[in-house]
Structure 1
Amino acid sequence: MGEAVSIISSASTEFNMEHRVPIAYSQNGAVGWIVLDRPDALNSLDRESVLQFTERLEAWREDAGIRTIAVAANGRAFCAGADLKQAGQVPEPGQKDLLDLIVILFDMLRAYPKPVIAAVNGLAYAGGLEIVLACDIVIAAEGSRFADAHSNFGVFPGGGGAALLPRRIPANVARYMLLTGDAISAADAHMYGLVNEVVPLEGLNARVQELGEKLARKSPLVLSAMKRVANEAADKSAADALRHELLENRNHGRSWDIQEGLSAFVEKREPQFRGY
């Protein structure tokens, strides 16, 4: 797979690609951009796009030059979910089906050791909503809309819609979205806590890049451990979650980054974290 180049501009949310591929990607400073690039199909997830998305995450996992991941899309939709034309296809013997591949991708996003920001530029339906649920921070353009939508087509969610949406927003709102399939606005998604910020469409990429650079200046060790503890806290008692936090704290106390951070504080300068 050849690497496609994207130009990230504060004046536009459109990514200019040298050639069309299901997933395009580029690096801007310490931020790695993964761009869903099937605009004519509303960026629905087919086998190739899921495989390429997963491959890019794997390639950047140990890349010290990439400190933050941004997930974005070309066109008027962020992602309309799984490509239903492929959803019922039976794979060749020994191959995973589309749902298997999507579950692997979403699990990877949720547990990814680097912060993941969703840059939602339009419709985020079904699997697109589940991508949003798998990301750490969500920045949405005005006019974006969010829906589970599975019930509209007699499809059952498999990437976290029914299991995780009630953990992110009020349970009665989650049930309404699941049962009706109706969409909510970016403003309502922000009010319910699904979205962190709503920005003008033309400033979406610039805001995500700015936020990604801010996160990239922090200790990767601290961010990774914080994400791990926060992800697991909901499934533990408060006492167990606190013990996990203390264990991570003790482990971090042996790192170079904490010594650098304390030295920078004393010396009144910006810390230069190395991630070990």
Structure 2
Amino acid sequence: MNAIKYHFADSIATLTFVREESRNAIDELLIAEMGEAIRKVCIDQARALVVTGTGSAFCAGADLKMVSRLMEEGPSAVVTRFLAPLQNVLAALRSLPLPVIAAVNGSCFAGGLELALCCDLVLASDDARFADAHSRHGLLPAIGGVQGLLRSVGAFKAREMLYTGDAYDAQQMMAAGIVSRVIPKADLAVEARKLALSLCERSPAGLARMKQMVADEETMDWGTAARYELAVTSARLSGSDPAEGVRAFRERRKPEFTDAP
């Protein structure tokens, strides 16, 4: 791989963008390698995934030099060779049945922000910056960015971020609800791994069900959600992990979970 570094150890997969010379901008190669890395996550049966970048950027968004070349061929080239493949790979990232942690080490702009919004948890270095930025180039979010912002920060803040394209620091994004924790840059990788290790101690099947429940319940009213949760929990209780979790609590030891996601 040339655009991405993939590492797997202790049940944790780490996907690192290494196009530092272009601030980890998204091009066709990065999309292809990201798809390959996600397949490796599944093959390795990882229990958590950390996505991060190198240098001053997490991901600066689309590689506009590449987009410019594709636009010379016509709008369909941009859609079929860039946007549609990127949408597919982000859908695969979202659907992974395990916790996905974005460790945002710097600039997180446009498509990079859309990518971060596809993760389950966002940790940010204290110098990280976030912006939608599409409006600055006459472009539009095309891979779920509008919905991601609406669900994360609400309509008014989403409009502000979309219309202005302004950049916000990590503390502002934590206040808005996108960032979970702000961490000194030197400690970001260690803290992301520490969080991933703690999640590896949870039931993989339980976390997979929780992740699906969050996705399913976003548009449900309370009554529908309550009935749905009862049905999912009832089915879940037939697995081994719930009994093991309760038994381990009673015996004052760490649980050993075995149910597959």
TM-score of Structure 1 vs Structure 2, range by shorter chain: over 0.9
- Paired with 1:51 and 1:243, the residues of 2 have a C-alpha distance of 40
Structure 2 counterpart of 1:5: none
Structure with greater proportional helix content: 2
Distance 1:241 1:51 in 2: 37
Of residues 212, 223, 226, the one that matches 1:239 is 223
- 2:44 maps to which residue? 63
Task: Name the counterpart of 1:100.
Answer: 84
Instruction: Return the match for 2:108 from 124, 128, 134.
Output: 124
1:211-269 C-alpha deviation (Å, 9 max, x unpaired): 00000010001101001010121122222222221222112111121221122122111
Cα distance in 1 for residues equivalent to 2:148 and 2:103 = 20
2:184, 2:118 → 1: CA distance? 23
Q: Indicate yes or no: 2:66 matched with 1:86.
A: yes
**One-letter code aligned to 1:168:** S
What is the aligned partner in structure 1 of residue 193 from structure 2?
209
Structure 2 Cα separation of the partners of residues 258 and 62 of structure 1: 26
Moved over 6 A (4+): none
Tell me the CA shift for residue 155 of structure 1: 0.8
Superposed displacement of residue 62, structure 1: 4.8
- Of 75, 79, 99, 2:55 maps to 75
The CA distance in 2 between the partners of 1:264 and 1:136, in whole Å, is 27
Q: Alpha-carbon deviation of 1:179?
A: 0.2
Q: TM-score, normalised by structure 1?
A: 0.88
Count, aligned residues: 255
| Structure 1 segment 26-45 matched on structure 2, within 5 A | 26-45=7-26
Alignment of 1:263-274 (within 5 A): 263-274=247-258
Q: Which runs of 5+ in 1 are unaligned?
A: 2-20
Percent of residue pairs identical? 35
> Is the CA contact 1:61–1:113 (under 8 Å) kept in the aligned structure 2?
no
Work out the CA distance in 2 between the residues paired with 1:164 and 1:255.
33
Paired residue secondary structure (1:218): coil
Within 2, Cα distance between the matches of 1:63 and 1:160? 28
1:134 is paired with a residue whose SS is coil
* Alpha-carbon displacement from aligned partner over 1:133-165 (angstroms, at most 9, x marks no partner): 111011000111000000000111111222220
C-alpha RMSD of the superposition? 1.8
Q: Distance in 2 between matches of 1:170 and 1:234?
A: 13
Q: What is the alpha-carbon distance in structure 2 between the residues aligned to residue 207 and residue 76 of structure 1?
A: 18
Q: Distance in 2 between matches of 1:28 and 1:184?
A: 33
Instruction: Classify the secondary structure of the residue corresponding to 1:156.
Output: coil
The normalised TM-score by structure 2 is 0.92
Which of the residues 217, 222, 228 maps onto 2:212? 228
Task: Give yes or no for contact 1:87–1:99 (8 Å, CA) kept in 2.
Answer: no
**Alignment partners' CA distance in 1, 2:85 and 2:259:** 30
Unaligned runs of 5+ in 2: none
Query: 1:86 Cα deviation (Å)?
Result: 2.6
Partner of residue 141, structure 2: 157
Alignment partners' CA distance in 2, 1:231 and 1:48: 29
Secondary structure at the residue paired with 1:245? helix
Deviation at 1:54, TM superposition (A): 1.4
